[in-house]
Amino acid sequence: MRILEGLKKISDENLISFHMPGHKNGRLLSSYFYDYFKYDITEIPGADNLHNPMDMIKETQDAIAKYYDCNKSYIVVNGSTAGIYSAVMAVARPKDKLVISRECHRSVYSALILGGIEAEYIYPDIDEKTGAVNAIDIESVKESFEKFPEAKGLVLTSPTYFGVISPIKKISDYLHSIGKVLIVDEAHGAHLKASELLPDDSISQGADIAIQSFHKTLPALTQSSVLHLNSKRINREKLESLLRMHQTSSPSYLIMASIDAAMNLMADKGEILSENLLNIINEFNENLENHKFVKRMAMKNSVLDPMRIVLVDKENKRVDYHQLEMILRNEYHIQVEYSYEKGIVLIPSIANTREDFLMLSKALDSISFDNLIIASRCDTIEYVKPVKRMSIRDAFYSESEDINIRNSSKRIASEFIIPYPPGVPLLIPGEEIDSSMIHLVLQLNEEGVNILGLLGEIKENIAVIEED
Ligand SMILES: Cc1ncc(COP(=O)(O)O)c(C=O)c1O
């Protein structure tokens, strides 16, 4: 089957979307954004230029900056990935050091390799019960910068894929007091500005740069992202030059137009639609309270995004969430974002209706969970914290060989191992592989998780640095 045929087949299923992108098959935007082919133009006179905006693109960027209350906002058409590359390389030069939260998305690690930047890691706690990564606490930030005072700044993710929000104000105040910079990967947080009832966005809490994927939580086309700059600590010209470097020279006007449309919608009705969604989610939560098997994830001492729905085991009975995802898709035409060993992630947006949630509640009420209980899970997935042996860039560019992962104990990885989604690397170049990592990767592989970096026909090989 080819792409068009495949897409038609999926589209004919008329799925209820609890996954990205946030426009949910174009709902809400039809009066803001139409005439797709006519709008797919290039930099002809009157169309401005993303790489040197002076006219309509500049005006749109100014409107975005106004909405997000920051100095400058840049449209990024190559996803938050390109924004993250640019931000990281604008803050640190080759051989400089950054402190990175180890649960960062792979784009942060790619930026380290591309920019020849060294990194030290903060390892946030993992909640054993739900498998979710906790917020970054101020104590570990202080500890890191006391140990590595030469580091230029910190990169962290907030909200995470699971909706966990870090204490950005405390962290940015501390970093600024010692002359350092905070970059927040806010790919999952473009919607936070819409209502006072939502947790604070990171720019309002002092982040120097925040990068947001509009397409994840707002109604915008995939790859629509925005980088916000709210700091005099960053060299603006360097940042702009890096944004030009990391983006296509043929930026899609459709993507840019969808960002403009999303912005118009948010300015017109974002608050009311968001509060309406929060009410619908509250009704959904109330209904879920009586569920015997699943509940919404809670996390001690952490702020959670109320719009990110993670369902986890209610009691000690363990639900097979991969099965649950299949049943929701095949029997109820509901597509969730992600299922994993300990839960299921749903990404609603203001484009979801009460009807969508009623269908979801009904499905959860009528599915026979008794058949989904895993009687005895012999092995639960353990979080593994690999030891760093080499710099990420040196490891990536070293001579490497592919070997079966079963034989890779004590070897150093020269490639990433990344389960997708959410795209957080288990192993990065330069880290030593040990038996628990081997066990974990094989376990995930057996569960059918899509793992980037596994090689060979049966996807059991891994690239390691050649031994002398
Ligand atoms: C936390 C996080 N950061 C960055 C990205 C990259 O965003 P994009 O897909 O817009 O390039 C993702 C994508 O999944 C993500 O989850």
Give the single-character DSSP code of 345. E
* pLDDT tens by residue, 364-407: 999 999 999 987 554 455 567 899 999 999 999 999 999 999 99
Task: Report pLDDT for 383.
Answer: 62
pLDDT band at 131 (very low <50, low <70, confident <90, very high): confident
CA of 377 to the centre of ligand 1 (A): 31
Is position 385 within any domain? Answer: no
Average pLDDT over residues 124-143: 91
Is position 6 within any domain? Answer: no
Backbone angle region of 278, left / alpha / beta, with phi > 0 → left and psi within -120 to 50 → alpha: alpha
pLDDT at 188 over 90: yes
Backbone angle region of 305, left / alpha / beta, with phi > 0 → left and psi within -120 to 50 → alpha: beta
If we measure between CA atoms, which residue out of 115, 3, 5, 18 comes closest to residue 333? 18
Note the pTM of the prediction, 2 decimals: 0.94
CA of 83 to the centre of ligand 1 (A): 10
Domain of 127, CATH number, reads 3.40.640.10
Domain of 317, CATH number, reads 3.90.1150.10
Task: Report pLDDT for 381.
Answer: 52
For ligand 1, is residue 107 a contact (CB within 6 Å)? yes
Decide which of 265, 284, 312 is a domain's last residue: 265
Lowest-pLDDT range of 206-220, 275-289, 431-445: 431-445
Instruction: Determine the atom of ligand 1 nearest the C-alpha atom of 20.
Output: 14
CA of 291 to the centre of ligand 1 (A): 32
| 230 and 291 fall within a common domain | no
Instruction: Give the helix/strand (H/E) hosting 119.
Output: strand 118-122
Percent of the chain topping pLDDT 90: 82
Average pLDDT over residues 43-60: 96
SS3 359: helix
Task: Report pLDDT for 377.
Answer: 52
| 260 and 332 fall within a common domain | no
| 364 and 219 fall within a common domain | no
Higher pLDDT, 447 or 114: 114
**CA of residue 205 relative to chain centroid, distance:** 20
pLDDT at 107 over 90: yes
Average pLDDT over residues 184-191: 98
Is position 83 within any domain? Answer: yes
For the chain, give the longest Cα–Cα distance. 66
| 278 and 260 fall within a common domain | no
Average pLDDT over residues 143-168: 98
CA of 87 to the centre of ligand 1 (A): 14
Is position 31 within any domain? Answer: no
Decide which of 265, 284, 301 is a domain's last residue: 265
pLDDT band at 2 (very low <50, low <70, confident <90, very high): confident
| 233 and 146 fall within a common domain | yes
Is position 5 within any domain? Answer: no
Q: Give the chain's mean pLDDT.
A: 93
Instruction: Determine the atom of ligand 1 nearest the C-alpha atom of 223.
Output: 10
| 327 and 243 fall within a common domain | no
| 45 and 133 fall within a common domain | yes
Is position 4 within any domain? Answer: no
| 230 and 314 fall within a common domain | no
| 43 and 100 fall within a common domain | yes
Question: With the C-alpha atoms ordered 397, 398, 402, 403, is the resulting torsion angle positive or negative?
Answer: negative
Residue 357: give the domain boundaries.
270-372
For ligand 1, is residue 83 a contact (CB within 6 Å)? no
Q: Are 312 and 294 in contact (CB under 8 A)?
A: yes
Domain of 424, CATH number, reads 3.90.100.10
Average pLDDT over residues 176-189: 98
Decide which of 236, 265, 294 is a domain's last residue: 265
CA of 213 to the centre of ligand 1 (A): 7
Is position 10 within any domain? Answer: no
Whether the link from the prior residue into 159 is cis, omega within 30° of 0, is yes
Is position 194 within any domain? Answer: yes
pLDDT at 13 over 80: yes
| 260 and 290 fall within a common domain | no
> Token match 């059918």: residue?
448
pLDDT at 447 over 90: no
The tally of domains found in the chain comes to 3
Using the CB atoms, write b or e for 229-252: b if 16+ within 10 Å. Answer: bbbebbeeeebbebbeebbeeebb
| 214 and 362 fall within a common domain | no
∠ CA 345-299-124, rounded to 5°? 90
| 302 and 412 fall within a common domain | no
pLDDT band at 300 (very low <50, low <70, confident <90, very high): confident
